[in-house]
Amino acid sequence: MMALFSKRVASQSRVWNHAIVWKDFNFLTGGITAVVIKLLAYSILMGAMSVMISKRVRTDVADNVGATLMASMLTALIVEIPIYLSRLFREELRWQTWSCLTLLPKTMTRVALGKLAGVAPAFLPAIIVFVVGAFIAPKFFENYLFKRIFIREDGWYWMLQYLLSVHVIVLLSLVVKWGAVPFGISVVVVPNVIFMATAGRNASFGVLGTIGVVTFLAMLFLQWLIIRQLKTLAAT
């Protein structure tokens, strides 16, 4: 009875139950070692910035430190996410292992989600430091970041545009050999800059809402194109 239980536990804990997640976490992001090093680096950098702020600012030190932590880590996430996602399938294509990976008894969507789950822990250091900043300066988080991003329509607009650029970058990483990140960003940013420079500041809620709906539909279409391209690459 005990031997049967031990065998069952061992079989459940084998790495190949989540092989895709394990592989990408260790080989694409660097594994636990990279996560710990990044967390220490962010903590040291933010600690040094906090000391500098506390020496220069005499009032509202906590608010300034917390705001700096949140703004810095939000910037780090904005930069990190497209870089990691641009490499999500690129490495498989470079080493010609994608066709082998698709032979697993999983759907293409599940394989893609497994790779996303493997990359996700790489963002934990920035998220942890951001949460620390939110605890230090809760008023700044509530009155500025949360309301500006999730309450105001222009916050939703830019968040959707960012997600759209990430989708474009992932698709381009399957098509071009290099330059997916800058090209994908320019494809989305340039039209938005032109729009904001001409009519964006005076755009009504209805106009922004319509663009937001179109952006959401465009992301669904890009997801379909990504899966289609992955299937095409698996067959070659």
Furthest C-alpha separation in the chain: 74
pLDDT at 147: 77
The span from the CA of 24 to the CA of 114, in Å, is 9
pLDDT at 98: 82
Alpha-carbon distance of 103 to 92, in angstroms, equals: 13
Structure confidence at residue 202 (pLDDT) = 67
Query: Alpha carbon of 115 to those of 73, 127, 169: distances in Å?
Result: 23, 20, 16
pLDDT digits (tens, 9 = 90+) for 54-87: 888 777 788 889 889 999 999 999 999 999 999 8
Q: Is 108 helix (H, G, I), strand (E, B) or coil?
A: helix
Residues 92-132 pLDDT 10s: 887 777 877 777 777 888 888 888 999 999 999 999 999 99
Burial of 115 (0-12, 13-18, 19+ CB in 10 A): buried
Question: Which two structure tokens, joined as six digits, stand for 218?
Answer: 């465009």
Mean pLDDT (the chain) is 84
pLDDT at 4 over 50: no
Domain residue spans of the chain: 17-150, 152-236
The alpha carbons of the chain give a radius of gyration, in whole angstroms, of 21
**pLDDT one-digit tens code per residue, 6-32:** 444 444 444 445 788 888 899 889 999
**Nearest-CA neighbor of 172 among 183, 163, 162?**
183
144 pLDDT more than 70 = yes
Give the model's pLDDT for residue 10: 43
pLDDT of residue 14: 47
* Exposure class string for 99-113: b at 16+ Cβ within 10 A, else e: eebbeeeeeeeebbe
**Residue pLDDT, tens place only, 166-195:** 999 999 999 988 889 999 989 898 888 788
What CA–CA distance (Å, rounded) separates 15 from 142?
Answer: 41
pLDDT at 200: 61
Higher pLDDT, 147 or 42: 42
Rounded CA gap, 133 and 63, in Å?
Answer: 9
Which of 150-169 are b and which e, b meaning 16 or more Cβ less than 10 Å from the residue's Cβ?
Answer: eeeeeebbeebbebbbbbbb
What pLDDT score was predicted for residue 69?
92
